[in-house]
């Protein structure tokens, strides 16, 4: 799908300011949308908005359909009448500069349970009708998700393939008994998803009023410990006990000398194809209903994926195996029409990956931090970009621009200085300007680069199991010139409406 020329900022909602230990869908999220509009930005890119999984990663969610309940704005629940003011008083352990997930989860989940109990105690509350309509409309995924979350709580961290064998096999009698015995907890998780959806829809509507489109993120593989793998075991490479035979990852690359062993189960693509790729159709349909554009992570895995024996401790001894290729995207297009999709085609990109992306008119990605390691033929350099692309200074997996510059080799620095015409003292703005002026349809910049923050503010380090996904911004870091400079660049590079007042000063 061809997109209008635009620019945007990458910031996950958990990184927003707020009094309850992490960002959420409340006041700061709406304020950030307003700031984007003032800065001449027309895109807000987020990471997967599902619940976080192992290592607090949004790419290892326990559901491919559910929203992250930790993003629910507690002030909104107070306004609904389901919490008391004292419930929102901050407690020790909730930090302003990073997300301490254990502390945040304990605080927020207690308040969500209090709100749920209050809601269900008010039997005549007219909002029950809206809740019931939501549960019925979303039952295709919601029933399995809510039961999975209730069972996972009882299992105290054990993966679903270690539960009672009758539940692992999903025997109907065992599922019925489990749902009956855990009725209140199942209902609570549905209550949380109803609130997430209402708040997310309100935030998205506000973004649309300000001319902002939201770019979402779809991980190619679900986590093993997820409702979708548990409920659809025949679609994944699992043995009879629900244990993966082979797992996903990538071979040694820029980020890791031993590759990345993600641990996600791989698809049984022939079974997906036999069913007309119905699970994938519904998965993408659901996300398109929540965001305006979808970035599909690890797009090259549809052409071929790196298959690692589950017994291997690293990704080194894997092999490339063919994916579904065009057959999947033919089915998606037939069901959903032109796909508003960005293909994350980084890593080992072969001709079949490029052909697949272009056949379905999906923009690919360029990352400026990868551009200066060799010579003028590097595909990430702005002059090598094509219009059907999204160009980034860096992604959530990269260091910040300032952090990258400080660790770059002398040769990289010399190349970048010559190419960008800079002495490097404002390298973040040099990269932002290069991205903005390129022919790529979209230019996207992490907020850390707009603010000129160093590597201490990096969000993720691929292959590192702990300490990631924790960074938070503060409003005190944002100065008027940040919005002014972004708006000026986007204006003169045709990515937003031209500001003649700025040009005539």
Those residues with Cβ within 8 angstroms of residue 320's Cβ, 6 or more apart along the chain or in another chain: 304, 305, 306, 307
Using an 8 Å Cβ cutoff, are 111 and 105 in contact? no
Q: Which of 185, 228, 297, 399 is catalytic?
A: 297
Active site residue 412: no
Q: Six-digit token pair at 350?
A: 């072969």
Options 217, 344, 345, 388, the catalytic residue: 344
Crossing angle for the helix pair 139-155 and 127-137, to the nearest 10 degrees: 100
Answer yes or no: 164 catalytic.
no
- Helix and strand element counts for the chain (H, E): 19, 12
Query: Would you call 297 a catalytic residue per the annotation?
Result: yes
Distance, CA of 4 to CA of 7 (rounded, Å): 10
Identified catalytic residue from 202, 271, 330, 397? 397
Buried b vs exposed e over 215-238: b needs ≥16 C-beta within 10 Å?
Answer: bbbbbbbbbbbbbbbbbbbebbbb
Distance CA 275, CA 139 (A): 20
| CA 346 from centroid of its chain's CA atoms | 16
Cβ 57 vs Cβ 468: under 8 Å: yes
Instruction: In whole angstroms, give the CA distance from residue 51 to residue 56.
Output: 9
Residue with tokens 């959420």: 24
Residue 106: count of CB within 10 angstroms of its CB: 14
Active site residues: 297, 344, 397
């Amino acid at each position: 799908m061809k997109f209008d020329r635009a620019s945007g900022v990458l910031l996950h909602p958990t990184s927003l300011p707020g009094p309850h230990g992490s960002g959420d869908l409340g006041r700061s999220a709406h304020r950030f949308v307003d700031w984007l509009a003032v800065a001449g930005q027309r895109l807000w890119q987020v990471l997967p908005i599902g619940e976080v999984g192992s290592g607090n990663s949004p790419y290892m969610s326990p559901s491919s359909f559910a929203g992250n309940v930790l993003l629910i704005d507690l002030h909104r629940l107070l306004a609904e009448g389901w919490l008391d003011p004292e419930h929102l008083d901050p407690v020790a352990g909730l930090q302003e500069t990073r997300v301490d997930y254990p502390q945040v989860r304990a605080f927020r989940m207690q308040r969500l349970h209090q709100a749920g109990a209050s809601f269900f105690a008010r039997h005549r509350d007219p909002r029950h009708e809206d809740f019931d309509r939501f549960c019925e409309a979303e039952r295709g995924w919601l029933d399995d998700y809510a039961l999975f979350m209730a069972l996972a709580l009882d299992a105290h961290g054990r993966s679903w393939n270690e539960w009672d064998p009758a539940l692992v096999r999903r025997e109907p009698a065992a599922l019925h008994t489990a749902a009956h015995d855990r009725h209140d907890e199942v209902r609570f998780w549905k209550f949380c998803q109803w609130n997430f959806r209402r708040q997310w829809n309100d935030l998205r509507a506000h973004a649309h009023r300000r001319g902002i489109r939201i770019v979402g993120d779809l991980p190619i593989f679900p986590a093993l410990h997820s409702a979708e793998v548990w409920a659809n075991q025949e679609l994944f490479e699992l043995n009879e006990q629900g244990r993966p035979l082979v797992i996903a990852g990538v071979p040694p690359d820029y980020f890791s000398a031993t590759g990345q062993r993600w641990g996600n189960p791989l698809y049984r693509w022939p079974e997906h194809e036999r069913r007309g790729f119905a699970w994938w159709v519904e998965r993408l349909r659901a996300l398109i209903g929540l965001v305006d554009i979808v970035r599909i992570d690890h797009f090259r895995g549809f052409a071929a994926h790196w298959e690692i024996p589950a017994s291997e401790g690293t990704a080194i001894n894997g092999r490339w195996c063919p994916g579904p290729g065009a057959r999947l995207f033919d089915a998606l297009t037939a069901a959903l029409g032109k796909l508003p999709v960005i293909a994350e085609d980084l890593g080992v990109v072969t001709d079949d990956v490029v052909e697949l992306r272009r056949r379905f008119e999906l923009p690919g990605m360029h990352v400026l931090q990868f551009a200066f390691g060799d010579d003028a033929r590097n595909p990430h350099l702005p002059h090598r970009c094509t219009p059907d692309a999204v160009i980034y200074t860096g992604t959530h997996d990269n260091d910040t621009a300032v952090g990258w510059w400080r660790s770059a080799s002398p040769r990289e620095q010399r190349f970048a200085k010559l190419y960008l015409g800079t002495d490097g003292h404002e390298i973040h703005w040099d990269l932002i300007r290069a991205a903005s002026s390129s022919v790529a349809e979209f230019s996207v910049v992490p907020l850390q680069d707009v603010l000129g923050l160093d590597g201490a503010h990096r969000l993720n380090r691929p292959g590192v199991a702990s300490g990631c996904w924790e960074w938070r911004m503060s409003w005190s870091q944002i100065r008027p010139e940040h919005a002014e400079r972004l708006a000026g660049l986007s204006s003169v590079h045709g990515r937003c409406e031209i500001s003649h007042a700025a040009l005539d000063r």
